[in-house]
């Protein structure tokens, strides 16, 4: 894989938390976060894509005019605020409190025959009626829900994810020396602006302009005149291949952004991802269909289309297979390369970029162990009947395995997410009492460590040390939670939530409530977790890893195929086809303009186009929110 410029550690550690970055925090908290929360209440959209880059560009311009430009470290800290403070689960957590209050007191709960809902989940009965009447969290009925659904999960997950992230960083960045392509180019872009590298800024600026033009031609014109001059179409070729391969699904997108993400990935990486996609959604789906394995409640029929077939096949078959596959690609390499693992965590050599007395692996393991035990005790106190061994296995075992899996994935390609972890825990525990469903998953499952490891990789590139990162991490997390409580309270005081002023809450929350209550019985049908498919996935993944590592000396093959099996929203698994085409285009361009020139600029071109397009998308969302909010006026 070609080296991304700026991936080496920077010497001369400086400060990222300065008055300029703190002023940016104030702007993000009081201007951007309420817009993001409101956008979710109105449109159901999570965050603004790369919104912090628009703020960074604004701040870079302002500070330069004032004669004191932002440094790379300050830009990193501002960028950190988006992923940790603005678009993380913590930033929306007070909205989910109101959502849970609706779930618990809606007629839908009665419809599903729910007889007992614990008081730690949400205010109930007369307490809920009073809460919804006065619309305030300053009510005794909210004390227990806020404690168990906000304070404890945030506190435990913050420390658990932080320690797991640092440990993952030790293993995959310092020891394995994986490249982390997207994190590296993101940080290199920060570095270019912070060091005011004119050549790199010129390339990024031109790419941003191209992204703005593309975004305006597609999103902008649609927002203004209702017609997209450069349409982002989803073309479904499933009907064309169904006669030959029944059950197969093949969507195709014209969205440029899917293709340029392949620019920074080598062809062998995108090819293996595509192999995983084709293996499941062409040949796998065909096998399931030909052998009549679809459940009676949801049979395959011609003409259903890719957007129906893909999620259906994932739900009934491929989630089980990828669970086994994922466990294998996470655990087997650790066992085979145990010396590397031991070296990463037991080396006496202090690494200046991440370690001090408090950041040794031994201390990190101790902190995680204390946090995990606190997690198990907290969950067990809320649900005393739940099997203790399952909590221990998931909190101390699965959380580590999933974090390593996600970090390894991000190290060689784009990261992946692992769905249905809560459902997996409940199903394999055999515990059918519904009270476990009311415990916030962040209390006992910790899967945010991969994001921490990637942020530490970016910090290494721009020259922010671990102590500075630690301060910034906990500060922006706290600001995100406080901002969530503040602005959700304000929006709630203005109008009821759910309510007509916030359309998403009245259109989507009833559906989500039905899903929440239905899952508690549907889980036990056995469709989601099929033990034979899990074993099959584990076995196949083990074989793929052993062959790829010992024969071809390319141990990442299994995890790349897993990325292709799962995919990235909203295109799902078939984004791998577009990334593969993008990597072929990238290779062709390098032959034309010169490999050295292209390799040193392709990441900046990709990043610039993404930033430019995100600026138009953000402006379109803002205009939409303004238009929606003006009709609330009484005149």
pLDDT, tens only, 241-276? 999 999 999 998 899 999 999 999 999 999 999 999
The more confidently predicted of residues 1 and 419 is: 419
Confidence band (pLDDT; 50, 70, 90) for 297?
A: confident
> Residue 344: its pLDDT value, please?
78
* pLDDT per position as a tens digit, 59-93: 888 888 887 788 899 999 988 887 776 666 777 88
* pLDDT per position as a tens digit, 567-576: 655 456 788 9
Token readout for 221 is 């014109």
Residue 518 covered by a domain: no
Q: Name which of 361-365, 438-442, 505-509, 602-606 the model is least confident about.
A: 361-365
> Residue 630: its pLDDT value, please?
62
* pLDDT per position as a tens digit, 4-40: 444 444 333 348 888 888 888 888 888 888 888 888 8
How far is Cα 439 from Cα 444, in angstroms, rounded to an integer?
9
* pLDDT per position as a tens digit, 202-231: 999 999 999 999 999 988 888 788 888 888
- Residues ≥6 apart with Cβ < 8 Å to 394: 421, 425, 444, 445
CB 328 within 8 A of CB 548: no
> Residue 7: its pLDDT value, please?
41
CB 263 within 8 A of CB 606: yes
Q: Determine if the pTM surpasses 0.75.
A: yes
CB 165 within 8 A of CB 456: yes
The more confidently predicted of residues 501 and 47 is: 501
Residue 3 covered by a domain: no
Q: Which domain holds residue 576?
A: 19-503+526-630
* pLDDT per position as a tens digit, 98-155: 999 999 998 888 888 777 889 999 999 899 999 999 999 999 999 999 999 999 999 9
> Residue 631: its pLDDT value, please?
57
Confidence band (pLDDT; 50, 70, 90) for 158?
A: very high
> Residue 547: its pLDDT value, please?
94
Residue 412 covered by a domain: yes
> Residue 568: its pLDDT value, please?
59
How far is Cα 372 from Cα 393, in angstroms, rounded to an integer?
10
> Residue 4: its pLDDT value, please?
42
- Any alpha helices (H) in 279-347, and if so which ranges? 285-290, 306-313, 319-336, 338-346
Question: What phi and psi values does residue 502 have, to the nearest 5 degrees?
Answer: -125, 85
> Residue 622: its pLDDT value, please?
78
User: What is the DSSP track for 530-571?
Assistant: -HHHHHHHHHHHHHHHHHHHHTSS-TTHHHHHHHHHH-BTTT
CB 425 within 8 A of CB 390: yes
CA distances for 577 relative to 167, 186, 239, 251, angstroms: 33, 23, 18, 10
> Residue 173: its pLDDT value, please?
92
Q: Which of 410, 428, 251 is nearest to 323 (CA)?
A: 428
When pLDDT is averaged across residues 530-549 and rounded to a whole number, the result is 92
Residue 128 covered by a domain: yes
Residue 5 covered by a domain: no
Residue 292 covered by a domain: yes
> Residue 2: its pLDDT value, please?
41
> Residue 545: its pLDDT value, please?
92
- How many independent structural domains does the chain possess? 1
Q: Is 113 exposed, middle or buried (0-12, 13-18, 19+ CB in 10 A)?
A: exposed
Residue 6 covered by a domain: no
Residue 513 covered by a domain: no
Question: What phi and psi values does residue 139 have, to the nearest 5 degrees?
Answer: -145, 140
How far is Cα 181 from Cα 265, in angstroms, rounded to an integer?
7
């Amino acid at each position: 894989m070609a080296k991304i410029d700026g991936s080496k550690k920077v010497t001369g550690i400086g400060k990222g938390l300065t008055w300029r970055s703190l002023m940016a925090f104030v702007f993000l908290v009081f201007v951007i976060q309420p817009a993001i929360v409101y956008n979710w209440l109105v449109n159901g959209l999570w965050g603004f894509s790369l919104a912090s880059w628009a703020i960074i560009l604004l701040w870079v311009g302002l500070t330069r005019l004032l004669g004191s430009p932002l440094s790379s470290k300050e830009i990193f800290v501002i960028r950190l605020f988006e992923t940790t403070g603005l678009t993380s689960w913590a930033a929306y957590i007070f909205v989910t409190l109101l959502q849970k209050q609706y779930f618990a007191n809606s007629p839908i709960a009665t419809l599903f025959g729910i007889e007992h809902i614990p008081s730690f989940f949400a205010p109930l009965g007369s307490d809920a009626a009073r809460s919804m009447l006065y619309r305030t969290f300053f009510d005794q009925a909210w004390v227990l829900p806020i404690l168990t659904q906000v304070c404890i999960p945030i506190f435990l997950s913050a420390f658990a994810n932080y320690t797991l992230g640092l440990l993952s960083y030790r293993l995959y960045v310092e020891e394995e020396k994986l490249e982390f392509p997207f994190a590296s180019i993101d940080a290199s872009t920060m570095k270019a602006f912070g060091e005011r590298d004119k050549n790199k800024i010129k390339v990024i600026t031109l790419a941003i302009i191209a992204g703005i033009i593309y975004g305006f031609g597609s999103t902008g014109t649609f927002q203004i005149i209702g017609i997209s001059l450069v349409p982002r179409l989803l073309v479904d070729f499933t009907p064309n291949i169904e006669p030959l391969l029944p059950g197969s699904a093949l969507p195709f997108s014209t969205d440029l952004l899917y293709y340029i993400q392949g620019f920074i990935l080598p062809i062998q990486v995108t090819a293996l991802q595509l192999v995983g996609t084709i293996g499941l959604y062409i040949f796998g789906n065909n096998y399931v269909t030909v052998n009549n394995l679809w459940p009676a409640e949801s049979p395959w029929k011609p003409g259903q289309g890719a957007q129906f077939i893909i999620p259906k096949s994932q739900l009934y078959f491929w989630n089980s297979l990828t669970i086994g596959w994922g466990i294998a690609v996470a655990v087997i390499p650790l066992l085979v390369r145990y010396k590397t693992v031991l070296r990463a965590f037991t080396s006496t050599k202090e690494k200046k970029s991440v370690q001090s007395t408090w950041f040794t692996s031994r201390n990190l393991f101790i902190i995680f162990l204390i946090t995990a035990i606190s997690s198990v005790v907290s969950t067990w106190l809320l649900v005393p009947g739940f099997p203790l061994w399952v909590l221990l296995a998931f909190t101390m075992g699965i959380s580590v395995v999933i974090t390593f899996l996600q970090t390894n994935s991000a190290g060689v390609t784009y990261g992946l997410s692992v769905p249905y972890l809560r459902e997996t825990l409940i199903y394999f525990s055999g515990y059918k009492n519904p009270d476990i469903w009311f415990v916030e998953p962040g209390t006992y499952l910790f899967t945010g460590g991969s994001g921490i490891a990637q942020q530490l990789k970016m910090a290494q590139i721009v020259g922010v040390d671990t102590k500075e990162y630690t301060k910034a991490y906990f500060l922006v997390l706290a600001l995100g939670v406080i901002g969530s409580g503040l602005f959700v309270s304000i929006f709630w005081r203005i109008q009821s939530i759910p309510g007509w002023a916030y359309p998403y809450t009245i259109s989507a929350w009833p559906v989500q409530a039905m899903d929440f209550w239905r899952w508690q019985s549907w889980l036990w049908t056995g469709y989601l977790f099929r033990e034979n498919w899990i074993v099959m996935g584990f076995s196949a993944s083990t074989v793929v890893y052993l062959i790829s590592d010992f024969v071809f000396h390319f141990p990442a093959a299994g995890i790349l195929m897993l990325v292709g099996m799962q995919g990235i929203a909203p295109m799902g698994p078939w984004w791998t086809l577009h990334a593969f085409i993008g990597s072929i285009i990238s290779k062709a361009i390098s032959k034309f303009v010169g490999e050295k020139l292209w390799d040193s600029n392709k990441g900046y071109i990709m990043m610039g186009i993404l930033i430019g397009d995100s600026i138009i998308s953000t402006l379109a969302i803002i205009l939409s929110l303004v238009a929606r909010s003006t009709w609330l006026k009484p005149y």
